[in-house]
Structure 1
Amino acid sequence: MTAFRMTPAAARRSRSRSGLRAPRAAGLVVAGLCLGLGFVGCAAPLPGGTTPSANPTPQPGVMPLRGMPVDPSAAENPSLAVKIDNHPAARPQIGLERADLVFEELVEGGLTRYAALWHSDVPESVGPVRSIRPMDPEILGSFGGIVAYSGGQPQFVDQMKAAPLLNVSFDDDSEGLFVRADDRDSPHDVVLAAAETVALHSDLAPPPRQFDYADSAAEATAALAGDPTTGIVTRFSESNGRAWAWDPAAPAYLRSQDGAADLDTAGAQLRATNVVVLRVEVDRGSDVPRTILSGSGEAWVSTSGSTMPVTWFKDAAAAPIRLADADGATVELAPGNTWIELVPADDGSVELVL
């Protein structure tokens, strides 16, 4: 990795941004400024205590979870959220490369699991499907539509059933939507008939928009106002590491896990148009860690090979995540798929490669 340094442009922005609270560095890699990221003006409460609107302005004619142009009639289906396994034995996952949004969350043993959402491009099958966790109602509550999973502790299942989504569970599969794959070992073998699940519940409303999108990648906020970076490295615990490398030929961020390329079932490396890293608190009061995705905190948005520090806001479980720059303006992502990394504030880390 390149040593971190402040660019002249970053220095000018630093002098122009007054009243910002310095970020807390506990538990994060610190090498240079702002959690080792080489940026000043890192995400903090906005001047005057303002927050961006919790009700994003509709963008007619675009997919609500991907920001790409669409015939409105093709976006009338509900979104499908699925808990996807990320144990090494579960890789490569099925259909993950076609998800609009993927949230990566910490679970037991320092491992991570995905809450992935499909709306614009629903595959025939997705998996391996795993159990629900206590943070999932908060992560998924703003999307509506369908959530699918394979069991979970009773109290977590009850919390998910109380959320405003239709629950589809492997443990109560009256519609025959789940199967066990013959070429995978249990418990990493549960596969959901995704397209059939959505078709059976096509009466449900489509999801509201989660993020704001620019008209093109070149007009995305980070592309215009961020600092050039070639990669993003995140750690959710001491036992794992994730990396995103910007490939201008793709153009996309290519994903690696634990030092190796992260591949789909066709052997292609998983990729993202936008990578959004949120620094989040984690409740470790029980054997199951619970990510707290409410309130606000520091974040970083990477698009088109540039990264900028922002602030994230989420007012309630049913409210969308809002992203704002240091002046309180809404951050616009590039049209395309987005991965959201929910990195623990206590012992997680975030680094940018210049």
Structure 2
Amino acid sequence: MATGVRANFQRRGFAFAAVAAAALLVAGCQQAPPEPTPEPSAEARPVGSSQPLAVAFSPLRGTSTDPAAPAHPSLAAKIDNHEDARPQIALNRTDLVFEELVEGGLTRYLAVWHSDLPDDIGPVRSIRPMDPDIASPLGGVIAYSGGQDQFVAMMMATPLVNVVFDLDETGLFSRADERPGPHDVILDAAETMARNAKLAPPPVLFDYGTADPLADPALAAAPTSRIALVFSEGRSPSWDWDAGSSSWLRSQEGVADLEAGGARVRATNVVTLEVGIDWRYGEVPKTVLIGSGEAWVSVGGRTAHGTWAKDAAASPIELTADDASPLRLAPGNTWIELLPERGRASFTP
């Protein structure tokens, strides 16, 4: 508007400009019309009303869960792996399973349930001398059918509550009619844990990462389609990677390993530890788990090499990669294969 006024002043003279200036002065003294007031929105928009969601992680699986869910003890049990004991009950609901050499070249399991507690587990068998070193870090409850007096005394000396078939007078154990003895002892897991609900939950035993924790090139993880292990002439478990289910599928002596109900036994993580064997107890071998040795962690169709170390019965197993970084597991269930030094392990691309 000011530029237009100057242009007219030049063409029509001073008088016209004076009139125009007076008009502008009068207009400037008038108030501008008020801005329209915006109408309120029909729906008020909430601001800052949502609450943050609490997140917890399962100590023995590394999976996310409701904060209240892990606040209970774990249940460890000695599970039979004789041919007549198969199929076992609820192995796929475990958090951890340790496979160990026992007499006669057979293997047995020390299985641990915490995230997903079944009603029943079994078949339950007798304790062995390495089991206190395996179970001590967990706390909670340990269930077994009995054992040599010296082995029972060793387990009784741990912090765990011992639930023993040979000593049970309260009906926690029963025998399954459809199974041959002595591979027929079944534990009422739900009732066992209800009676011991006030015990502390287990601590974290392993480091967990992403769903693909071996992706870092520094770990030098090798593609693996099959893990083949030889514990003895009579025990050769193996695991095949199944990309469709993102899990390792288990076989024993070349036959698909099934749990009761017909599902294939599977694991998110397979940890293979090379261990020494102590023969001080005659024909009963004791896995040497206080010390260190070679380790292989198999996750997501890959295997990374490293070492394991455990400095006391109550200490967890530490897994370290060859580059000195922690060997982490993927969130999920884990099988720990305690492979004797005289055994064999192969990891097929």
- TM-score range for the pair, normalised by the shorter chain length: 0.7 to 0.9
- Residue 279 of structure 1 is aligned with which of 274, 279, 290? 274
CA separation in 2, counterparts of 1:147 and 1:76?
Answer: 18
CA contact (8 A) 1:245 1:255 kept: yes
- Residue 114 of structure 1 is aligned with which of 102, 109, 120? 109
CA separation in 2, counterparts of 1:240 and 1:121?
Answer: 28
Q: CA deviation at 1:251?
A: 1.1
Could you state the TM-score of these two structures normalised by the residue count of structure 2?
Answer: 0.82
- Residue 254 of structure 1 is aligned with which of 224, 231, 249? 249
SS at match of 1:284: strand
Q: Which residue of 2 aligns with 1:52?
A: none
CA separation in 1, counterparts of 2:327 and 2:347?
Answer: 19
Deviations 1:55-93 (CA, angstroms, capped at 9, x unpaired): xxxxx7110000000112111110000000000000000
1:101 paired with 2:96, answer yes
- Residue 192 of structure 2 is aligned with which of 183, 190, 197? 197
CA contact (8 A) 1:313 1:322 kept: yes
Q: Structure 1, unaligned stretches of length 5 or more?
A: 1-59
CA contact (8 A) 1:222 1:308 kept: no
CA contact (8 A) 2:250 2:265 kept: yes
| Structure-2 change in CA distance of 1:67 and 1:88 (3 Å) | same
Larger radius of gyration: 2
CA separation in 2, counterparts of 1:101 and 1:333?
Answer: 12
CA separation in 1, counterparts of 2:168 and 2:279?
Answer: 32
Q: Which residue of 1 aligns with 2:182?
A: 187
Aligned residue pair count: 292
Q: Structure 2, unaligned stretches of length 5 or more?
A: 1-54
- After superposing the two structures, state which structure 1 stretch, 173-182 or 130-139, moved more: 173-182
- Residue 217 of structure 1 is aligned with which of 192, 211, 214? 211
CA separation in 2, counterparts of 1:111 and 1:288?
Answer: 11
SS at match of 1:171: helix
Could you state the TM-score of these two structures normalised by the residue count of structure 1?
Answer: 0.81
Deviations 1:289-308 (CA, angstroms, capped at 9, x unpaired): 00010111101000000001
- Residue 305 of structure 1 is aligned with which of 265, 285, 301? 301
CA RMSD between the two structures: 1.1
Q: CA deviation at 1:190?
A: 0.1
Q: Which residue of 2 aligns with 1:353?
A: 348
- After superposing the two structures, state which structure 1 stretch, 221-230 or 259-268, moved more: 221-230
Q: Which residue of 1 aligns with 2:265?
A: 270
CA separation in 1, counterparts of 2:113 and 2:215?
Answer: 24
1:142 paired with 2:137, answer yes
CA contact (8 A) 1:223 1:303 kept: no
SS at match of 1:74: coil
1:170 paired with 2:165, answer yes
CA contact (8 A) 1:93 1:128 kept: yes
Residue correspondence of structure 1 range 11-26 to structure 2 within 5 A: none
Q: Which residue of 1 aligns with 2:322?
A: 326
- Structure with higher RCO (Cα < 8 A, 6+ apart): 1
CA contact (8 A) 2:60 2:114 kept: yes
CA separation in 2, counterparts of 1:134 and 1:188?
Answer: 20
| Structure-2 change in CA distance of 1:72 and 1:92 (3 Å) | same
CA separation in 2, counterparts of 1:175 and 1:239?
Answer: 37
Q: Percent identity?
A: 58
Structure 2 letter corresponding to 1:312 = W
CA contact (8 A) 2:214 2:302 kept: no
Q: Which residue of 2 aligns with 1:295?
A: 291
Q: CA deviation at 1:223?
A: 7.2
CA contact (8 A) 2:63 2:331 kept: yes
Q: CA deviation at 1:196?
A: 1.3
CA contact (8 A) 1:223 1:304 kept: no
- Residue 239 of structure 1 is aligned with which of 230, 234, 238? 234
Q: Which residue of 1 aligns with 2:310?
A: 314
Structure 2 letter corresponding to 1:205 = A
Deviations 1:188-226 (CA, angstroms, capped at 9, x unpaired): 000001111111100100000000111x312x1367631
